[in-house]
Structure formats: C-alpha cells, structure tokens
Amino acid sequence: MAAVDDLVNRSRSPRALANVIMAPSSIVIAGGATAVAVVAGLGPFAAIVGIGAWAAKTLLGIRKVRKPAPEPIDPFRVGEPWRQYVQSAQQSKVRFQRSITQTKGGPLQDHLLAIGERVDSAVQECFAIAKRGYALDNAVDELDIRSIRKELSSAEADLATAGPERRTTLQTTVDSIQSRLASAQRLSDVTVSTKDRVRQLDAQLDELVARAIELSISADTPAALGSLGLDVDSVVTEMEALRQAMDETSRLGQGAPVTSPPPQSEGPEAT
C-alpha cells in the first residue's frame, strides 16, 4: 500500500488519476483475466484474478502520471534586489549539496538528502516570491506615487479657494485622488516589507546551511543533526506564507485590500 500511496502522491492531478483507474483497457484486461480463470477451473478465485490484473495495469498507468517538472529558476527574469535574493538562495543550495557529497554514505547522508529536498523547496519559493515582488515593484512604478501626491496637492489647493458652486465637485475629486494614493501607498508598503522579509529568510537559510556543513563533518548519526531539519522546514513554511501573502496583493485590482506579509519570526535557534 505504501508504494500505491507514493504513486498517488506523485500523480499530476485527481482527474488524471481517475482516468488511469477507470481506463477502458484496464477494465477489459480485468474481464479477460476473469474469463480465463473461469475457463481454467479457477471459478472461486476468478474475481481475485480479475482484480489482480486490473490492479497491475492500473499501477503501470499511474507510474506514467507524474507531477510537472518544477519551473527552471532564472534570477535574470527579475530585477534587483529580487535577483540578489534568488541568487543568494541558490548559492545556499549549492553549498548544502556540496556538504552532502562530502558526507560518508549511510543514514546521515540519507537524512541530509531529505533535508536537501526542503532546501530545494526554499529556493523555489524564493524565486516565486521574487517574481511576484518584481511585478509589484513595476506596478508601484506605474502608479507613480509622486505624481499622485502632486495631483492631490493641486486639487486640495483648488478646493481651499473654490466657491460654493465648485466645492462639491472638487471634494469628490479630492476624495478620489486620496483613495488612489492610499491604494498605491499600501502597495508600496507591501513591497518594502516583503523585501525586508525575504532578505531575512535568505539569511536564515544561509545560517542553516552553515550549520549543516559543520554538522556533516562532526556528526556521526542523523540524531546528531538535532533540529536542523525542523528549522529548514520552518524557513520553507514561512516562505510559502510570504508567497501566499504576495498572491493576495493581486486582489488590489478588484478593490480588495492589500494583505501585508506575515510577521517576521526570530529565526531558527542554534543547536
């Protein structure tokens, strides 16, 4: 059952998995196997034979259904400082992989390999954050907060000297510009806080890699790695939360409020 669960977990989608399970070819093979069993005098076991044939065919089909490959990471698809964040995460990954190759084969190396998969996830999340952050920077530039402020200042000056017949119209204009400025400012604040946060997470990841290198030399068993795996998981989880918060900012165009990134953590504790 563990093998089946693993194959299911790696399948591309529930629909693809359902197509494999209910494939006409699998049903035909199951029916044919059942008929052969009956002819061979295995009547009481014919159903079992048919189910076994269906299961074997289905497992072969599931093996062909895989998750799509991760998106290639290209730091040059984003501008600074996002590019720098991605490159820093990539360098941490390279150093971690080097420490694994220098570790003697066995349970310790296997444990480091498992942690390495989470380091890979951290780099993927960092790239996803960088792409969203770069797009957000471009959106803020297009909004041009400085120009909005100048426009607001001019409208407020007109309102201050306007007669009664113009005040209602000018007040509506001022309110509209103020609302636009508030949205642009919230968006700008998100970019600033996100840059601070992803830089912090990059630093934490680099710190954990340094610990891994040290422990790969001195440790004899996986237990000697202490909380390293949990700390890497924590960084990945925080990156996922940050990326999800970045996704929510896309709702600004539909009038929804911008959600700030989650609060910063204190980082992993050294062991």
What are the pLDDT tens digits along the chain (271 aa)?
Answer: 444 444 444 444 455 555 545 555 555 454 554 554 444 554 554 556 455 654 555 555 545 545 567 778 899 999 999 999 999 999 999 999 888 887 777 888 888 888 888 999 999 999 999 998 998 889 888 888 999 999 999 999 998 888 888 989 999 999 999 999 998 888 888 889 999 999 999 999 999 988 888 877 777 777 777 788 889 999 999 999 988 888 876 555 444 444 445 555 544 544 3
Q: Look up the pTM and report it.
A: 0.63
Q: How far apart are CA 117 and CA 25, in angstroms?
A: 36
3-state secondary structure 13-63: CHHHHHHHHCCHHHHHHHHHHHHHHHHCCCHHHHHHHHHHHHHHHHHHHHH
Q: Where are the domains of the chain?
A: 2-63, 75-254
Q: How far apart are CA 228 and CA 208, in angstroms?
A: 7
